[in-house]
Structure 1
Amino acid sequence: MEHQFRVVIIGAGIAGLSCAKYLIENGIDDFVILEAHDQIGGRCQTMQLLDHQLELGAESLHGEISNNPLYRLAEEHHLIDIDDRGSDRDDCYHDEEAESIDEDVIDEVRKVYDEILEKKVAAYPYENYPDISLGEFVSAEIEQYINIKKVILDKDELDEQQKVIDWLSKQHPYLNTIGCNKLTDVSVQGWNSLERLPSNNQYNDEAVYMYGGFSNFLQTVFADQLNENQIELNTIVKRVSIREEEQYVDIEIIKNNQELITTYQAKHVVCTQSVGCLKQSMHQMFIPPLPHAKRMCIQKLAFGTVNKIYLGYSQPFWDVDFQTFNFLWDTNDNDTELQLECFAKTSFTSDWCKSITGFHVHPRLPNVLVTRISGEAAKYIETIPDDLLAMAFQELLYHFYPDNQTPKPEQLIRSRWFNEPFIRGSHTFIKIGSSMHDIKQLAVPWPNKPAKPLILFAGEGTHERFYGTVHGAYMTGIREAKRIIELY
C-alpha cells in the first residue's frame, strides 16, 4: 500500500476545496484531493484576455453577504469586484426580418413572464397535484395572457408578442442557469425546490464579481490554505472499492495519463464529481456497485449544459450606444428554417441557431460580444470547429442586424462543458420524473450508517435548495466535512 489517508476527496472544484478547508480548520489535515484535470476549479474556470478575465463557468455572486457564504469569504479576502459603472446604453431587439421590436412590448411581456416565474409558480400547490413540466405551466399561464390580448391586438402584434415570449423562454436569467433543452423537460415541483437568493446589498443591484475571476478566488481562499502535496492534479480515479468489514476504502488512480495504477487507502472518500460524470462512470467506478436507490437517483436527475461564447474584435463594428443585440426568432414552425451559407459544403446543420437569443457587449471589454447557449444545441456546437463557428456567428449577426457591416471575429473563446470527460455538462436540474428526494438520496453516505460512513457525496447536485449553484456546491463540501469531523 503506497499511501494511506484519513480522507480522500475526489475533485478540486469548490465542493472538494471547501471540504478540505473545513477539515483543516477543524484539526484534520490527513487528506488528499485528487483532481483529474491540470488545474483546480471544476466548473469555475477563468481565462485571461488582455487585462481582463473571461469566465467560462461561474461568473458572479448571487444574493448578498447575509445569505451567501461565498460573499462573506470574498469580502474577507478583499476580492469583491463591483461592476458599478452602470449602463445608460440601449438594448436592441430585432426579428428575423431585421425589423426592430419596440422595447415597450418587451417590457410588458417580461413583466408578465416574471410574475409567472416568481409568484405563480412558487405558489403551485404540488402536494395536491400531479407534477407537470415548467414549460406546460408557463404555457398555460401565457395562454391566458394571450387570450386577453387577442381582443385588442391584430395578428402582427400578436406574432410580435409571441416572439418575445419565445425569446424569454430561452434566455430568462433564471432559466439559463439550468441548461435544459426545453422547459417541458423541467419539473415544476423541482423548480419550486430551487431557492433563488434575494439581493438587497450595499451595491444596489449591480453585478458582483470576483476580483481576478473565480479561479483567483478559489486559489486565494482555498488552495493557498493547503499544503502543496494535498492536491494532486492530473490524477484520474479509476476505481473506488469499499472494504466494509475492514472499514476502509481502496482508491485506484492513474497519474499523468500513465498506465501504472497506484492504490491509495482511506477511511473516508468524499465524492464531489458532477451528476453528469457519475452518470457516465458510476457503473465502472464503484465496487461493489452503488446501492440501487442511489444509482436510480443519479439516472433520474438531469444534468444540463450551458456554454458561453466570447467573440473578440479589434474594435466595435456596432453602434456603441447599444449594450445588447437580441435575436427574436419567428415562432411560425411552417416557415423555412434559416440555413447558414458557411455550412453549405459541410455536414453541419443550422438547427441550433434558434437557441442563440443574441449577444451583449462585455461589461469591461467594449470590443467583445458574449452569448450563451444551452441544451442539445450547446452540446452540438461543441463539435463545430472554432473557425467555422466564428463564420456562423458572423452570418447570424448580419442576418438580424444588416445595417452593421459584421466582420468575422478575430478571436473566439468558448466553453465546452459537455465534452469535458470528467464533467459532462454544467448544471444539475430536476426533470419530469425526478424530484428533490433524488437529490436528498444522492447526498446520503454509503453505507448509510452514521458512525461508519465510508463514501460521502458532495457537489451542487447534492444540495436540495441550491442545486446548480456555486454556493450550493460550497455548502455541501462543508456539510460532508462536518459529518467526518463529528466522527472524531
Structure 2
Amino acid sequence: SEVSPNVLLAFIAGNSVEYIEAVNDAELGILLTNRLREYTGDQTLPKPDRILKSTWLTDKFFRGAYSSLGLLSRFDDFTVLSEPLPSTSIHRLLFAGEATTPAERTEARDENSSHTSKKFEVVIIGGGMAGMSAAEHLIRNGLKNIAIFEAKERLGGRILTDYSFAENAAIELGAQWIHGATVANNIYNLANIQGLIKDEKCTTLKGTFLLKGGKVVDDEFIESLKKEFGKINCEKANFSNVEQCFNQQFVKISSKFAESEKEVLSAAFNVFKLSRMGFDGSELNSVLAGVEPYTYMPCDLDTIEGNDKFIELLKQNISDEQIYLNHEVVNIAWDENEVILTVKHKNLTKFVIAEYVICTIPLGVLKNQSSLLFTPQLPPRKLKAITNLNAGKVVKVFLYFNKPFWTRNQLNLLILGVSDDEYEQGYKEWIHRVAFFRESEVSPNVLLAFIAGNSVEYIEAVNDAELGILLTNRLREYTGDQTLPKPDRILKSTWLTDKFFRGAYSSLGLLSRFDDFTVLSEPLPSTSIHRLLFAGEATTPAGYGTMHGARESGIREANRLIWQMYNEVSSN
C-alpha cells in the first residue's frame, strides 16, 4: 500500500469474485497466506492480523465494479447508454456514469485493470520511417484525427542513433547509409533539402586487404578480382540458392588464375560472399537465387548528422498528442466496417477503434506472431509471403579505443581475407565470419564490425568483455601485431533478439516468389473498402531493406488511403 506500511493489496478479477466476497475473513487469510508461502518458499510467513475486502458484486446497489466491452459489444454501446429519453422531444430522463463515457470512462479505476476506448479516423502502427512518413503525408493532406502507436519508448523503428557512446558522435545502430546518390531516391532528396549530405563527390570506399600474419594484398589485384566477381549472374541458370550459384560460377573464374594466386583468390571470394551476406542479412544457402526485384542505385552515403534527424524532420508536422509511445498493439481485429486494436500500455489494456489502420509491424514480428496479431487470421496468400521472406540477421559491433591504433581517414576499411576452412568454420563459430572493420566517419576512436548470418543471435547475447577479446584477437591475427589494444568499450545492436523487431531487414528466402513483397503490401479486405493497409521496407519490392523503401511504402499507403477517402466522399 502507498498509504500504509502495514498493508498489502491483492487484486483479483473474474468469475471467482462472487465466492471471494462471500468467504469469511479467516479462511481468506489462510488461503492467501498459503499462496504467498508457496511462491516465496518461506513457510514461516505470518497470516494477516486483519482483512478488509470490497464487495461491489454482491452489493445490491452496485452489482459490479466498472464496465467493459463484452463479447457482443459494439463500439457505440457506451454512447447508446448515454442517450436521453424521450429521444424525439424534450429530454426528461438523462443518463450519466462511467459506463456512458466511451473515451474517459475509466479515469477513476485501478491502473492495473483499466480498459479505455478511443476512436480515430486513422491509426498507424509503428513510428519508424514508414509510419512517420505515412502520418506526415496524411496530415499535410488535411487529415487530423490520426494516431501513431509505437511499442518502443522512442520513435524511429530501425533507425536508432546513439550519441552517448562516442562523445556525442552519431553512432548508427540501425539504418546507416542512404543507398543511392540519385534523385530517384526519396531519402537522398530529403537529405539534400535539409543539408544532411556532404557537398562532395561520392566515391566507393576502398580498404586494405589482409591475409593472416599481416600480409597485405596488392590493391590492383583485389580490384581485378572484384570485377570478376561482379560478373557472377544467378539469373540465367537454375540454382537452388545463392551459395550454390556463387560456388559453381567461382569454379570457372578460378580456372583463369595461376596456382600461386589461388590462396588470395579464394580468400577474396569468401569475402565477396560475406559481403553479399551483409546485403541479404542471411546465410547464402538460405537466399533464393534468380531474378531480384530490388533496384540498385549507385553509391552509398552517410549523413552529416544522425539519421534520427529524418524522424525529427517528419515529426515537426505531427503533434505530441498524436503519438503514443510504449503502446504495444497485441491484436488487430479487422472487418469491412472498422478495425479494433487491443493495445497494451504499462499495466493497462486499451481498445482503440479506427476507421483505417496502416500496419508497419516489422517482418520479423509478423513471422513470429501473425497468428496472434490478427483477427481474423490473414489470408493464406499473405501468410505464405510472410513465411517465404527472410528477416535479416545482422549485428553491428562498435569498438571504442581511447587511443586508436590507426590514423584517422587512412584505415578506412580493413578487409580480412577468409580462407575456405575458415568460411566453413563460420557455420559453427561466429568469429570466422568477421571480415570487415570499418573506420567510423563520425568518431576518430571507433571501428565498426559488421556481421551477418545465423551467428548473430549468439553475438547479441555474448557479454561485451568476451566480445572485445575475440574481436581483438581477430585483429591481432590478421595484422600480425600481438600488441594491439583491446577496445575500451563496446556498443552493439540487438535487432534479432528485440521482441519488437526480431530481425534487421528483409530479403528473399529460399521459397520466395518475385511478388512476395507486393503480396505483403496488399490491403484488406481485398474486395471492399480497404480498412487494414500494410507498409514498411518489406512491402517495397524495389527498395526492400532500405530507408527509401520504407519511406516510399508509407507515402504509398497514405496516398492509397487519401484516394479511397476521396472516392468514398464522391460516391456519396
Bucket of the pairwise TM-score, normalised by the shorter protein: 0.7 to 0.9
Report the equivalent of 1:249: 339
Change (3 A) 1:334 1:11: closer
**What SS does the corresponding residue of 1:41 show, helix, strand or coil?**
coil
Correspondence list, 1:447-486, <5 A: 447-449=525-527, 451-486=528-563
Q: Residue 36 of structure 1 contacts residue 422 of structure 1 at CA under 8 Å; is this kept in 2?
A: yes
Question: Which structure 2 residue ranges, 5 or more long, are not aligned?
Answer: 1-101, 103-116, 566-572
**What SS does the corresponding residue of 1:52 show, helix, strand or coil?**
coil
Change (3 A) 1:453 1:381: same
> What CA deviation, in whole Å up to 9, does each residue of 1:327-380 have, x standing for no partner?
212213799x69xxxxxxxxxx97001110031221232221111000112222
1:159 and 2:259 are equivalent in the alignment: no
Q: Residue 181 of structure 2 contacts residue 301 of structure 2 at CA under 8 Å; is this kept in 1?
A: no
Separation of aligned partners in 1, 2:532 and 2:135: 15
1:236 and 2:328 are equivalent in the alignment: yes
Report the equivalent of 2:210: 94
1:32 and 2:125 are equivalent in the alignment: no
How many residue pairs match? The answer is 447
Change (3 A) 1:385 1:134: same
Amino acid at match of 1:303: A
Two-structure CA RMSD over aligned residues (Å): 2.4
Q: Residue 463 of structure 1 contacts residue 472 of structure 1 at CA under 8 Å; is this kept in 2?
A: yes
Give the drift of 1:463: 0.8
Report the equivalent of 1:66: 183
Give the drift of 1:85: 11
Moved more, 298-307 or 73-82: 73-82
Separation of aligned partners in 2, 1:416 and 1:33: 24
**What SS does the corresponding residue of 2:285 show, helix, strand or coil?**
helix
Amino acid at match of 1:59: Q
Separation of aligned partners in 1, 2:382 and 2:423: 44
Give the drift of 1:68: 0.7
Report the equivalent of 2:295: 195
Give the drift of 1:218: 1.2
Report the equivalent of 1:346: none
**TM-score, structure 1 normalization:** 0.86
Correspondence list, 1:405-444, <5 A: 405-444=483-522
Q: Residue 390 of structure 1 contacts residue 412 of structure 1 at CA under 8 Å; is this kept in 2?
A: yes
Q: Which has the larger radius of gyration?
A: 2
Question: Which structure 1 residue ranges, 5 or more long, are not aligned?
Answer: 200-206, 339-348
Amino acid at match of 1:427: Y
Separation of aligned partners in 2, 1:35 and 1:292: 27
**What SS does the corresponding residue of 1:270 show, helix, strand or coil?**
strand
Give the drift of 1:270: 0.8
Change (3 A) 1:72 1:93: closer
Give the drift of 1:447: 0.9
Moved more, 54-63 or 77-86: 77-86
Report the equivalent of 1:342: none
Correspondence list, 1:77-88, <5 A: 77-81=194-198
Report the equivalent of 1:186: 287
**TM-score, structure 2 normalization:** 0.74
Correspondence list, 1:280-299, <5 A: 280-299=368-387
After the TM superposition, list the runs of 4 or more consecutive aligned residues in structure 1 that deviate by more than 6 angstroms.
Answer: 83-88
Q: Among 284, 289, 305, which residue is 1:212 paired with? A: 305
1:115 and 2:231 are equivalent in the alignment: yes
Report the equivalent of 1:393: 471
Q: Residue 423 of structure 2 contacts residue 432 of structure 2 at CA under 8 Å; is this kept in 1?
A: no
Give the drift of 1:403: 2.3
Report the equivalent of 2:91: none
Q: Residue 82 of structure 1 contacts residue 209 of structure 1 at CA under 8 Å; is this kept in 2?
A: no
Separation of aligned partners in 1, 2:140 and 2:544: 25
Give the drift of 1:80: 2.5
Change (3 A) 1:176 1:85: closer
> What CA deviation, in whole Å up to 9, does each residue of 1:254-283 have, x standing for no partner?
11x31x211000011111011101011110
Give the drift of 1:414: 1.2
Separation of aligned partners in 2, 1:476 and 1:131: 31
Separation of aligned partners in 1, 2:308 and 2:377: 34
Give the drift of 1:65: 4.4
Q: Among 127, 139, 160, which residue is 2:247 paired with? A: 139
Separation of aligned partners in 2, 1:363 and 1:21: 30
